[in-house]
Amino acid sequence: MTPPEGTDLPVVLLSHRGPVSFERDPEGGRTASRGAGGLVTALTGLVSDLPDAVWVCAAASGEDAAVAAEHGGRAVRVSLDAEPRVLDEDHGDAGGAPTMRLRLVEVDPKAHDDFYTVIANPLLWFLQHGMYGLALDPRLTKREHAAWEDGYVAVNRQFADAVVEEVKAVGGRALVMLHDYHFYLVGQQVREQCPEALLSFFLHIPWPGPDAWRVLPPPWRERVLHGLLGNDVVAFHTEGFARNFLLSAQELLGLPVDLEAMTVRVGDRTVAARHYPISIDVAAIRELAASPEVAEHAAALAETFGGDDRQLILRVDRTDPSKNIVRGFEAFGTLLEDHPELAGRVTFLALLQPSRQDVPEYADYLAEIGATVARINAAHGGEGWEPVDLRLGDDLALAVAAYSVCDVLMVNALADGMNLVAKESVVVNRRDGVLALSENTGAHQELGAFAVTLYPFDIQQQADALHAALIMDGALRRARREAAARVVEENDIAKWLHAQLSDLGVTPGPASDPGAASDPEPASDPGAG
Amino acid sequence: MTPPEGTDLPVVLLSHRGPVSFERDPEGGRTASRGAGGLVTALTGLVSDLPDAVWVCAAASGEDAAVAAEHGGRAVRVSLDAEPRVLDEDHGDAGGAPTMRLRLVEVDPKAHDDFYTVIANPLLWFLQHGMYGLALDPRLTKREHAAWEDGYVAVNRQFADAVVEEVKAVGGRALVMLHDYHFYLVGQQVREQCPEALLSFFLHIPWPGPDAWRVLPPPWRERVLHGLLGNDVVAFHTEGFARNFLLSAQELLGLPVDLEAMTVRVGDRTVAARHYPISIDVAAIRELAASPEVAEHAAALAETFGGDDRQLILRVDRTDPSKNIVRGFEAFGTLLEDHPELAGRVTFLALLQPSRQDVPEYADYLAEIGATVARINAAHGGEGWEPVDLRLGDDLALAVAAYSVCDVLMVNALADGMNLVAKESVVVNRRDGVLALSENTGAHQELGAFAVTLYPFDIQQQADALHAALIMDGALRRARREAAARVVEENDIAKWLHAQLSDLGVTPGPASDPGAASDPEPASDPGAG
């Protein structure tokens, strides 16, 4: 990649889910909610420092679409306080709160459905997490081919057009930051129309080796790869994913790659594959952990599971097959068989958020989870002791409370780009809890040295590892938990973002900075109306 | 690898299935049958030229075990005529037929079952063909751990001991040729005990990238890799598999690899990863094709399916999920939907050999095959036309007859180390048949340029490709079939073997050649009694 000479560049962000979404309340008023999660927090922090930055995302609700329509599809300025609102003017009164420019893109519902529920989830998600038993699935038929063209390709084109419009609005030079597997094709299209833009792409899920990509027919996989190679930098959570990307370009496109420099040549351009492990907002999660709501949950959990001779194993996950929840319970069942002395003394609390229940594999998987828990509780429970306490729902305060009081946190994902549950738990745990962490998570690169490693397909090994965690010496537990917490503190979400910007050689800046624009005329800003 | 200075080396072969197996007939006499297949033919040709070569394999029957027991477990000399028999003396009378030394290794049935039906098939086979939907399978429990130690590891040790005994019997220097996924651990053990042996390993199935191997817990996968790295050369069908092997050594063991030289350093040794596409015995299959039995089958097929306006699509496969039979039929069903003009004019003849029906996935797969055929025949057949003619059985003469008269041969495997059906068909076909060949077969490297390429997960593309094959211009069909046949003629099984020996820098020779033995004393030959 060739870093631009200017150090300040206006920023255009793209992600499928945005930082703010609007709803209509029963009284007919407009309400808004902030997106959750470290990524939204980090990127919100970035763009709220930059008055002209713009965040492009999908209109996620009817009210989002209404907001977009009211403004002719252009970006709107919103305040970023507890109750975000659309500001009337480009510099309208936010009451001192930070503001950001938001471009909500309304997508035809049928096209979005094809894009989202036929191609991105499940096809790309399953492929990239290695979840196809290839004997019968996937099956690419007319329906999938139509969904690819009229859904994935069309929606990518629509978002690329929106990004191009924003880049051109600032004179053609901008730092464009594209996010995740929804938008593999955007980079190439923006490059073609905005050759002076600096394009970076970040993938939040695993990138498997070339073999896995052969599940897609060549026209699809070549389009995915060429789409990504339109960027200057393609970034991943781990070095292994970055290497897999280069090997895919080599094997599937025949391009020359340099595995030392971690680059690939495409025509006269060089594209870099980089890795930046994403993280969490440590201060924010600790602030939440200190809240009365969490304290109340923690007290209730201590009441239920506490006591000197009792221990708590915890997991917090979406009910996604990639999270490997069934094998985790089977490992716990094996642990109880192998160690009858644990009867009545250890409980497995599982806080699970039902996920994608419109996808048959996900519905089946949730049923298998329920069946497995019932078998284990029937086989091992009794005398007032329920070995597995399964709670379905989505309650961040409860999860943080459980992080704080658990003795073992189990993360046994069969594949996971990063896994932020592991990072969250080590910075709020108060019982020197042991992290039991799958080797197939991105987080294992950073935290594996301080964790009990789990091999996700090996149920016996996971049972043995849980036992090792439960009987681990207190001083060792403490030392490891503290070391893991330090790693997360030192590599928090701010560092993740700053490392990328630093490597790109840019300081994001306002569009009006003349050093950033290649156009000698000051850039006009039609997108901010 | 360091080629030995001597050019002639005695040969010790190891494969799970051997070239001859004995049975007891109803009258109590001993009968024997020759193993089929190109590998057995090629290696039989090699060792029958070398009076002191020995082939180590598993006793596959009770009578094999009896033969082994009668000779104290040592190698026996057998004649290689139409009715092989054990010769009384090391140089007993074979009536002019070639002979070979055969060492049948009897394995404890329980250990063999663990080795074969728990670990090698299905675990390694499924893993290496990408057939696990990882959400629920595989599950490694106490049973699999015990099968690994008491089955796979123990059986590998037993065969390694037999090989070591044979190598030591010829003075410690020999060319040891190990075959296939049953014996990953043997190389390292032979190297430790026979440091002067030249060890080569050949894998007949795919070697996937490092990610796939993470399905095995680290102690297993490290043992597999270190077992293979005990060889001087590890050979595969394709360059892609060889590269995957080196990447596995790099990623899973942290060893330095050279992807240009295709080598990996292990301590002070260098191990080479090579590729040699296996092939067929062209003369033998053509001889069979010219036999009266095949002619009779061909006439019957022409009677059933012939006629100027009729065409025949053929597949010949084991009912292994890796062969992708269900999607093949679904593609044919799509073809009939998209092209109603084909009704009554094209038949899909499927000669399928039931396989591994004791493995639940295989039994389920056969059921799915039957269900799919029934659906397609019910939806599209009628007026005396059955679109799919499914025949279960194992009849080589019928298969060769069908090769000779088909218009299209379909090979749509989702993963296949080589696929010899494709090679057999192009050298005996007499109707300028079109090869429709999966990109995920080793054979596609050699024959893809002369085939219609199939993308095995894309049912619509396979339907379109079948149509393109059916309407292909006659001159193009002929040119392609002839070109494909020439490729196979020029790269037949003999070349596969000679290329390996040439790269190893050796001419196999008798053990008594003083140039081959490091031991100054002439080697005794206790294994040949």
- Enter the ipTM: 0.89
Average pLDDT, chain A: 91
> From the list A217, A240, A247, which residue is nearest B458 (CB)?
A217
Judged against a pLDDT cut of 90, whether residue A45 lies above it is answered with no
Element (H, E) at B517: none
The residue of chain A with its CA nearest to that of B209 is A209
Confidence class of residue A521 from pLDDT cuts 50, 70 and 90? very low
% pLDDT > 90, chain B: 78
Report the pLDDT value the prediction gives residue A383, as an integer from 0 to 100.
Answer: 86
Q: Which residues contact A347 (CB under 8 A, 6 or more apart)?
A: A305, A310, A311, A312, A313, A385, A386, A387, A388, A389
DSSP A108: -
> From the list B215, B324, B459, which residue is nearest A141 (CB)?
B459
Backbone angles phi, psi at B319, to 5 degrees: -80, 60
Judged against a pLDDT cut of 50, whether residue B248 lies above it is answered with yes
pLDDT per residue over A435-448, tens digit each? 999 999 999 999 99
pLDDT per residue over B251-280, tens digit each? 999 999 999 999 999 999 999 999 999 999
Cis, peptide link before residue A292, omega less than 30° from 0: no
Q: How far apart are CA B491 and CA B487, in angstroms?
A: 6
Report the pLDDT value the prediction gives residue A308, as an integer from 0 to 100.
Answer: 80
Report the pLDDT value the prediction gives residue B47, as an integer from 0 to 100.
Answer: 77
Judged against a pLDDT cut of 70, whether residue B422 lies above it is answered with yes
Report the pLDDT value the prediction gives residue A41, as an integer from 0 to 100.
Answer: 73
Confidence class of residue B442 from pLDDT cuts 50, 70 and 90? very high
pLDDT per residue over A100-128, tens digit each? 899 999 999 999 999 999 999 989 999 99
Which of chain A's residues have a Cβ under 8 Å away from the Cβ of B259?
A: 259
**Token reading at A259:** 């595995």
> From the list B132, B208, B457, which residue is nearest A138 (CB)?
B457
Report the pLDDT value the prediction gives residue B187, as an integer from 0 to 100.
Answer: 98
pLDDT per residue over A332-375, tens digit each? 999 999 999 999 999 999 999 999 888 889 999 999 999 999 99
Report the pLDDT value the prediction gives residue B95, as an integer from 0 to 100.
Answer: 75
Q: How far apart are CA A491 and CA A282, in angstroms?
A: 9
Report the pLDDT value the prediction gives residue A517, as an integer from 0 to 100.
Answer: 33
Q: What is the pTM for the complete model shown?
A: 0.91
B460, B462, B464: best to mutate for the A interface, most A CBs within 10 A? B460
* Strands (E) located in A46-128: 54-58, 76-79, 99-105
From B208's Cα to the closest Cα of chain A, the distance in A is 7
Question: Helices A239-253 and B239-253 meet at what angle, rounded to 10?
Answer: 170
Judged against a pLDDT cut of 90, whether residue B236 lies above it is answered with yes
pLDDT per residue over B315-336, tens digit each? 999 999 999 999 999 999 999 9
Q: Which residues contact B233 (CB under 8 A, 6 or more apart)?
A: B1, B199, B200, B201, B271, B272, B273, B274, B500, B503, B504
A215 in B contact zone (CB under 8 Å): yes
Judged against a pLDDT cut of 50, whether residue A2 lies above it is answered with no
Confidence class of residue A90 from pLDDT cuts 50, 70 and 90? low
Which of chain B's residues have a Cβ under 8 Å away from the Cβ of A211?
A: 130, 208-209, 212, 244
- Please indicate whether, in this complex, the C-beta atoms of B321 and A135 are within 8 angstroms of each other: yes
Which of chain B's residues have a Cβ under 8 Å away from the Cβ of A138?
A: 457
pLDDT per residue over A270-289, tens digit each? 999 999 999 998 998 999 99
Which of chain A's residues have a Cβ under 8 Å away from the Cβ of B439?
A: 214, 218
A360 in B contact zone (CB under 8 Å): no
B215 in A contact zone (CB under 8 Å): yes
% pLDDT > 90, chain A: 77
Report the pLDDT value the prediction gives residue A6, as an integer from 0 to 100.
Answer: 44
Mean per-residue pLDDT, A217-232: 98
Judged against a pLDDT cut of 80, whether residue B70 lies above it is answered with yes
Judged against a pLDDT cut of 80, whether residue B521 lies above it is answered with no
- Torsion over CA: B6, B9, B14, B17 (sign): positive
Judged against a pLDDT cut of 50, whether residue B4 lies above it is answered with no
The residue of chain B with its CA nearest to that of A128 is B211
**Token reading at A336:** 């109880």
Mean per-residue pLDDT, B297-313: 93
Which of chain B's residues have a Cβ under 8 Å away from the Cβ of A322?
A: 135
pLDDT per residue over B476-506, tens digit each? 999 999 999 999 999 988 899 889 998 988 8
Mean per-residue pLDDT, A24-42: 81
Strand order in the sheet with B257-258: B76-79, B99-105, B54-58, B11-14, B175-179, B198-202, B233-236, B269-275, B263-266, B257-258
% pLDDT > 70, chain B: 93
CA distances from A91 to A100, A162, B304 (A): 10, 22, 82
B274 and B486 in contact (C-beta within 8 Å)?
Answer: no
pLDDT per residue over A394-427, tens digit each? 999 999 999 999 999 999 999 999 999 999 999 9
**Token reading at B394:** 């194992």
Confidence class of residue B43 from pLDDT cuts 50, 70 and 90? confident
Q: How far apart are CA B142 and CA B146, in angstroms?
A: 6
How many CA atoms lie within 13 Å of A200's alpha carbon, on the beta-carbon side? 23
Mean per-residue pLDDT, A191-196: 98
Report the pLDDT value the prediction gives residue B513, as an integer from 0 to 100.
Answer: 40
> From the list A259, A361, A457, which residue is nearest B138 (CB)?
A457
Q: Can you spell out the DSSP letters for B7-51?
A: SEE-EEEE-SS-SEEEEE-TTS-EEEEEPPSHHHHHHHHHHHT-T
Q: Which residues pair with B452 in a beta bridge?
A: B436
Across the A:B interface, residue pairs with CB atoms under 8 Å apart total: 129
Judged against a pLDDT cut of 60, whether residue B515 lies above it is answered with no
Residue that has been written with the tokens 């503290």 in this structure: A482
A132 in B contact zone (CB under 8 Å): yes
Judged against a pLDDT cut of 50, whether residue A3 lies above it is answered with no
Mean per-residue pLDDT, A160-185: 96
Report the pLDDT value the prediction gives residue B516, as an integer from 0 to 100.
Answer: 34
Confidence class of residue B7 from pLDDT cuts 50, 70 and 90? low
Report the pLDDT value the prediction gives residue A37, as an integer from 0 to 100.
Answer: 66
pLDDT per residue over B15-33, tens digit each? 999 989 999 988 888 988 8
B232 and B200 in contact (C-beta within 8 Å)?
Answer: yes
Report the pLDDT value the prediction gives residue B89, as an integer from 0 to 100.
Answer: 58
Judged against a pLDDT cut of 90, whether residue B92 lies above it is answered with no
